[in-house]
């Protein structure tokens, strides 16, 4: 069980922003911006490349919840970044698909 599965199961506490039957969104414990929230599907998918056609609806749901997180935390007007890391070279640290919502400061391009 990954740490994200344990958070979804309420075995590990987290500062939850929103949750529903499909996902849980919570503040990252190692934030890279003033606002850094992870949107994690309850279904364990190790990474985006492992998602299948049957995950199409779930993937769309994660993006819609990321937008809701941004609205709830006041990021909609100033802007925010949505990131999905896939694999070690992309910075993935937990093998459970998740969406980062980052905001509260200007973001540079290209990202590091």
Q: What are 54-99's pLDDT values in tens digits?
A: 999 999 999 999 999 999 999 999 999 999 999 999 999 999 999 9
CA distances, 10 to each of 4, 15, 92, 110 (Å): 10, 11, 23, 36
Prediction pTM value: 0.95
Closest residue by Cα to residue 108 from 88, 81, 73: 81
The fold adopted by the segment(s) 3-103 is HIT family, subunit A (3.30.428)
The question of whether 100 is a catalytic residue gets the answer no
Give the number of other CB atoms < 10 A from CB of residue 32.
14
Q: What are 6-25's pLDDT values in tens digits?
A: 999 999 999 999 999 999 99
Q: Which of 36, 61, 96, 98 is catalytic?
A: 98
Domain ranges of the chain: 3-103
Which tokens go with 21? 């039957």
């Amino acid at each position: 069980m990954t740490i994200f599965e344990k958070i979804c199961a309420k075995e590990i506490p987290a500062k939850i922003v929103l949750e529903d039957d499909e996902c849980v969104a919570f503040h990252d414990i190692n934030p890279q911006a003033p606002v850094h929230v992870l949107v994690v599907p309850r279904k364990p998918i190790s990474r985006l490349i492992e998602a299948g056609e049957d995950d199409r609806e779930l993937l769309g749901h994660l993006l819609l919840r990321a937008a809701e997180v941004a609205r709830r935390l006041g990021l909609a007007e100033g802007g925010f970044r949505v990131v999905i890391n896939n694999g070690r070279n992309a910075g993935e640290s937990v093998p459970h698909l998740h969406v980062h919502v980052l905001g509260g400061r200007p973001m540079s391009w290209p990202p590091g």
